[in-house]
Amino acid sequence: MRKVICAFIFDYLGAKFITSSAYADNPASLGVGRKCGDRENGVPIRNRMDKPAPLQLLILEPGNLVRCEHELTVEGLPEFRRSIGLDA
């Protein structure tokens, strides 16, 4: 699902990069990002449940996206782009 959404954001909405994050003690979430092509982009310490916790920042650029084997087909793109303010 994440690969499809990222492909849509890059290919149809023109994003230059996508950022995300997960706490360091959440390897499953971090693994999803890495399988998509994310790379690490810093580790700030955040307050979580009144304790300091490292938050792994991730960044994904179009050339690093590990794409699905199926081509993405989109319908209603002009209407969607207008609804989110990308096109007049």
Q: Where are the domains of the chain?
A: 2-80
* Residue 27 pLDDT > 90: yes
Write out pLDDT tens, residues 36-83.
999 999 999 999 999 999 999 999 999 999 999 988 999 999 999 999
41-48's contacts with Cβ under 8 Å and 24+ in sequence apart are 48/23
Residue 9: what pLDDT? 97
Residue 79: what pLDDT? 97
DSSP code of 84? Answer: T
The CATH code that applies to domain 2-80 is 3.40.630.30
Q: What is the C-alpha to C-alpha distance for residues 68 and 1, in angstroms, rounded to an integer? A: 9
Q: What is the C-alpha to C-alpha distance for residues 28 and 25, in angstroms, rounded to an integer? A: 9
Q: pTM of the predicted model, to two decimals?
A: 0.88
| Mean pLDDT across the chain | 96
Residue 88: what pLDDT? 81
